[in-house]
């Protein structure tokens, strides 16, 4: 994976798991850890996708578990079903939106690495407490 990341330098990462397979969810979590360690999450769009959302009777990963994982890694989240074409178009449009947001994301990341003022830290903390950031809005950073 590291070779693919350095060779192709993707603008967006799609980390997909099956909502009916706990092992795929564990692998998705490991992939997010890898992307975080490589600082890809900070400079590129990352979307966590729970697939097979139409298989409710055999579901093992609840929607809120996937959403919480995405929120904890500061990435986007959506559930899809390629079998019934649920949210697939929304995911594709979200991928394009994340690609367009990449230059802004990199500028924000580079500015965040600079020294924070106390006021800025306080404002960021208040925004965090209010839950301003939504992991489900694929059209924002």
Convert the pLDDT of each residue in 101-125 to its tens digit: 877 666 665 665 555 565 665 566 5
CATH number at 83 reads 3.40.50.300
Please give the tally of structural domains in the chain.
1
In a domain, 139, yes or no: no
Do 7 and 51 touch, CB atoms closer than 8 A? no
Nearest to 27 by CA among 48, 4, 9, 45: 48
Which of 46-50, 77-81, 98-102, 135-139 is predicted least confidently? 135-139
pTM of the model: 0.75
Domain that holds residue 26: 2-130
């Amino acid at each position: 994976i590291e070779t693919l990341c350095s060779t192709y330098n993707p603008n967006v990462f799609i980390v997909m798991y099956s909502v009916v397979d706990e092992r795929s969810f564990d692998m998705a979590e490991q992939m997010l850890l890898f992307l975080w360690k490589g600082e890809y999450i900070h400079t590129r769009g990352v979307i966590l996708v729970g697939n097979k959302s139409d298989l409710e009777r055999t579901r093992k990963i609840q929607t809120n578990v996937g959403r919480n994982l995405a929120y904890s890694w500061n990435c986007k989240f959506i559930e899809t079903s390629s079998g019934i074409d649920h949210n697939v178009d929304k995911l594709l449009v979200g991928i394009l939106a994340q690609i367009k947001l990449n230059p802004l994301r990199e500028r924000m990341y580079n500015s965040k690495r600079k020294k924070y003022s106390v006021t800025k830290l306080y404002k960021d903390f208040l925004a965090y407490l209010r839950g301003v950031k939504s992991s489900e809005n694929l059209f924002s950073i």
